[in-house]
Amino acid sequence: MVRFNKNNTTLKSFARSSKGNVAIVFAFLVPIISVMVAGGLELSNGATARNALQATLDSAVLAAARSGSLDDASLTAAGQRFVDANRSSVLRDEEVSVSITSEGELGDLTIRGEASMRLPGMFSAVVGREYTVIEATSEVRAIEDPQLQIALVLDVTGSMSGSKISTLRRASRDLVNYIRDRVDAPIGVVPFAQYVNVGVENGDEDGIIEPMVEEEGRGRGRRRRGERGTARMVPDPDWEGCVGSPSDPYNRRDDPVNGAMPGLSDVDCPSTPLLRLTLNRSAVLDRIDDLGASGWTYIPAGLQWGWRVLSDTAPFAESPSFLEEPDDNMLQVLVLMTDGDNTRSQRDESPYHDSTAPGRADAYTQQMCDAISDDGVLIYTVAFEISNSRTRNMLRDCASEESMYFNANSNSELSAAFEAIARDVVALYISH
């Protein structure tokens, strides 16, 4: 029987041997691990660069489309100028090649862009390449003589009080006047906070469920019993136009049948009701002048009604009525401005927005942004003095293009953002 003890020379010999084996194995693995780490870093850098290149190309193709040029050389030159002037920090030091071409005729024109860049990296050098080629593609379709329609979805929560709401009124007025001086476009206004006020006069529209109460006596508010002693239901005289949300998933859809909006009489909402699409410039400016600031923030409420103002379905189905011909094209734009995080959310299986689950509200916001974009609406977003990077990123992702997101850190920057949006909307309209 063999016994091992601390003085056993066989055991010591084995230990010395195993240490040598470990050292040999480690020396063998170091270059492999290094290559794997370098490869992983390069894959990560490549994904970041690819996303940055895609976002830049998307904006460059739009810029080329707005340039008014039709030949490929001019389109490519316009796109290259945009890329060179608007590189993100990821693309700052790399050479980006752009090619933009057009196909079709004026009125139904498709503009396609391709971009490529060489991304140097450690792993590429290890495997015998000096760089990795990153590529992106993008396209836009320019349609003839669209009817421009705009919904201004404006945060009027309590944090907007003071100089901020005054600046918002002024910036919104300037945007409306700039656009209407150049384009005969209908505009709607949707003030939002925790809820939206749709206006008592719209309570009988399809897609809005006006709250009801028992009628009493001969007049409203007094019970009048029928032959079987039942009370007749009548519209609630205390309803001020506030609406909640339908249940999931219809709270994120444009579905007036399954997603009718329930009126609520026992909540606080903006005193200024929304304004449906109208060509009456004075009515738009007057509604903007009436904006006040109070309440908490639930961004999906504003998006719901901004979308429905532009929709061709109930309760506000008038967007097609502004077309000269039924088959004319529409260019619809939604401008979302907010100065804060989602501080309220919809309660489970309830029309009320009185829960405090910001993660759910943020998810609803992004899902609604995606649905509105899928419906063909272009979205501009403005983050006004927002310190939370999560909310800023959400608004950036909500915008149709990264160039259509604005981060305004002061009153003057808010005015500049609205001015830039006004110019861009008009340029986009003219280019189409």
Can you state the angle between helices 411-431 and 9-66, rounded to 10 degrees? 60
Do 38 and 163 share a domain, yes or no?
no
Q: What is the CA radius of gyration of the chain?
A: 29
Whether 4 is covered by a domain: the verdict is: no
Do 248 and 115 share a domain, yes or no?
no
Asked if residue 49 has pLDDT above 70, the reply is yes
Higher pLDDT residue, 126 or 428? 428
CB-CB contact of 303 with 365 (8 Å): yes
Do 209 and 358 share a domain, yes or no?
yes
Whether 7 is covered by a domain: the verdict is: no
pLDDT tens-digit readout, 141-169: 665 557 899 999 999 999 999 999 999 99
Asked if residue 92 has pLDDT above 70, the reply is no
What pLDDT score was predicted for residue 29?
57
> Can you tell me which residue has the tokens 């974009």?
373
CB-CB contact of 1 with 84 (8 Å): no
Do 161 and 309 share a domain, yes or no?
yes
- Alpha carbon 112 to its chain centroid, in Å, reads 24
pLDDT tens-digit readout, 356-396: 999 999 999 999 999 999 999 999 999 999 999 999 999 99
Asked if residue 273 has a cis previous peptide bond (ω within 30° of 0), the answer is no
Whether 221 is covered by a domain: the verdict is: no
Whether 2 is covered by a domain: the verdict is: no
- DSSP β-bridge partners for residue 191: 154
Highest mean pLDDT of the ranges 54-58, 208-212, 341-345? 341-345
What pLDDT score was predicted for residue 222?
41
User: In 228-349, where does DSSP find H-type helix?
Assistant: 281-289, 299-310
The overall average pLDDT reported for the chain is 83
pLDDT tens-digit readout, 269-288: 999 999 999 999 999 999 99
The domain boundary, picked from 127, 143, 159, lies at 143
Do 128 and 165 share a domain, yes or no?
no
pLDDT band, residue 177 (cuts 50/70/90): very high
- DSSP β-bridge partners for residue 376: none
pLDDT band, residue 71 (cuts 50/70/90): confident
Asked if residue 9 has pLDDT above 90, the reply is no
The domain boundary, picked from 122, 143, 164, lies at 143
Whether 415 is covered by a domain: the verdict is: yes
Whether 8 is covered by a domain: the verdict is: no
Q: Above pLDDT 70, what percent of the chain?
A: 77
Domain total for the chain?
2
CB-CB contact of 288 with 176 (8 Å): yes
User: In 6-154, where does DSSP find H-type helix?
Assistant: 9-66, 72-85, 122-126
SS3 407: strand
Whether 5 is covered by a domain: the verdict is: no
What pLDDT score was predicted for residue 265?
94
- Alpha carbon 283 to its chain centroid, in Å, reads 27
Asked if residue 172 has pLDDT above 80, the reply is yes
Domain extent at residue 196: 147-213+239-431
pLDDT band, residue 1 (cuts 50/70/90): very low
Do 172 and 121 share a domain, yes or no?
no
Range in 54-58, 124-128, 185-189, 281-285 the model is least confident about: 124-128
**Of the candidates 136, 52, 47, 44, the residue with the CA atom closest to the CA atom of residue 99:** 136
CB-CB contact of 331 with 378 (8 Å): yes
Dihedral sign for Cα 60, 65, 71, 77, please.
negative
Tokens, residue 1: 């029987």
pLDDT band, residue 20 (cuts 50/70/90): low
In 121-256, where do the E strands start and end? 131-143, 147-155, 187-192, 196-197, 208-209, 212-214, 233-235, 242-243
pLDDT tens-digit readout, 22-38: 556 555 555 655 555 55
Do 90 and 176 share a domain, yes or no?
no
The pLDDT of 74-80, averaged and rounded, is: 89
**Of the candidates 277, 272, 310, 265, the residue with the CA atom closest to the CA atom of residue 288:** 272
What pLDDT score was predicted for residue 221?
43
Whether 395 is covered by a domain: the verdict is: yes
The domain boundary, picked from 114, 143, 172, lies at 143
**Of the candidates 231, 250, 233, 235, the residue with the CA atom closest to the CA atom of residue 204:** 235
**Of the candidates 157, 193, 163, 178, the residue with the CA atom closest to the CA atom of residue 284:** 178
Do 110 and 24 share a domain, yes or no?
yes
